[in-house]
Amino acid sequence: MRRHERLIVAAAILGLFALWEGLARTGLLDASLAPAPSTVLGSLIRLVGRPEVRASLWVTAWEVSAAFLVALPTGLLLGFTLAEVSVLGALFRPLVNFLFGVPKSIFLPVFILIFGVSIPQKIAFGVFTTVFVLIMGGIAAVQSVPRELITVSRVYGASRGQIIREIYLPAMAPILLESARLGMVFNITAVLLCEIYGARDGIGYRIAAWGENLQMPQLYAALVIVAAAAVAVNEALRAVETRLGAWRQRT
């Protein structure tokens, strides 16, 4: 985006908030449904100041990170295996495709039966949801490696290890990072859903409670926190992706 385009976008967003604020204050907008941005902001500052809310945020952050750290290598390695070993691919890819398309929340009761309402349950459900995205990403990444480049490196005497290091990894890097980013989005959503469904702590648990009591300012403030965290993670991964994928031809 060029500079004046950025300015227009920023002005439009500010204008929208100003309009919202105005409508809420004049009572044209039902404040119990859509509280004014200033009210939400005030609520946000108070929430972040409360130690028990901060603790809940940490619980969620821990669940999300743990689930991601398990799902990332598991999913990618499964994806690589399914792409490289054709027998396993033929056997399991239909199953993966099937489960990929199914709403994972159907399985939430199963996770509660196995793990109880606990932190491991949230992590396990996050892994379960995220792993399919990463399996698909791993398969796509392997298939994106051009065969000709492997022939070329063989001609120039590359060993198996060198082909993996010098061809496979750099060729797959952009798709791997893209899948990681997408997986993270699914992961955050899954953990929050799990917490809203039933939990003893975590920001999702608090969101559920505020929602039930129709505490809209708190609900929106929590939404802002979660969205900000998700966007921050997403953008950080995207920055790495752009840097490593600069060689990809843009059209």
Partner 1 sequence: MTRALVAIRGVSQRFGADGTSVTALDSIDLEIPDGQFVAVVGPSGCGKSTLLSLVAGLRLPSAGTVLCDGEPVTAPMPRKVGVIFQEANLLPWLSAVDNVAFPLKLRRVAKAERLAAARRMLELTGLAGFEGRLPHELSGGMKQRVAIARGLVQNPAVLLMDEPFASLDEQTRMVLGDELLRIWSETRKTVLFVTHSLNEAVYLADRVVVLSARPGRVVDDVDVDLPRPRSFAMSAGERFGALKDRIWQHIKGAERR
Residue whose CB is less far from partner 1, 32 or 162: 162
User: Which residues contact residue 237 at a Cβ distance below 8 angstroms, ignoring those fewer than 6 apart?
Assistant: 177, 180, 181, 184
Of 97 and 151, which has the nearer Cβ to partner 1? 151
Question: How many chain residues bind partner 1 (CB under 8 A)?
Answer: 20
* Contact between 249 and partner 1 per CB under 8 A: yes
What distance in Å separates the CA atoms of residue 194 and residue 112, rounded to the nearest whole number?
A: 10
Among 29, 41, 112, 149, contact with partner 1 (rule: CB under 8 A): 149
Q: How far is the CB of 154 from partner 1 (least distance, A)?
A: 6
C-beta of 170: minimal distance to partner 1 in Å? 5
* Residue 112 interacting with partner 1 (CB under 8 A): no
The encoded tokens of residue 236 equal 């950080």
Q: How far is CA 238 from CA 65, 187, 207, 231, 241, in A?
A: 17, 16, 28, 10, 5
Quick check: 248 binds partner 1 (CB under 8 A)?
yes
- Smallest separation, CB 142 to partner 1 (Å): 17
By the rule CB under 8 A, 209 interacts with partner 1: no
- Which residue's entry shows tokens 């967003």? 13
- Is position 240 an interface residue for partner 1 (rule: CB under 8 A)? no
Residue 116 region by backbone torsions, left for phi larger than 0, else alpha for psi between -120 and 50, else beta: left
Orientation angle between helical segments 119-143 and 51-84, nearest 10 degrees: 40
Residue 145 beta carbon to partner 1: minimum distance, rounded to whole angstroms: 11
Positions in 170-189 near partner 1 (CB under 8 A): 170-171
Contact 207, 222 (CB under 8 A): yes
Among residues 4, 86, 103, 148, the one that binds partner 1 under rule CB under 8 A: 148
Q: Which of residues 27 and 156 has its CB atom nearest to partner 1 in the complex?
A: 156
What secondary structure, in 3-state letters, does 153-164 show? HHHCCCCHHHHH
Dist CA 165 CA 193 (whole Å): 38
Least gap, CB of 137 to partner 1 (angstroms)? 19
Count the neighbouring beta carbons within 10 Å of the beta carbon of residue 49: 9
Cβ-contact 16, 24 below 8 angstroms: no
The 152-171 contact track toward partner 1, x by CB under 8 A, reads xxxxxxx---x---xx--xx
Q: How far is the CB of 162 from partner 1 (least distance, A)?
A: 6
Give residues in contact with partner 1 (CB under 8 A).
146, 148-149, 151-158, 162, 166-167, 170-171, 246-249
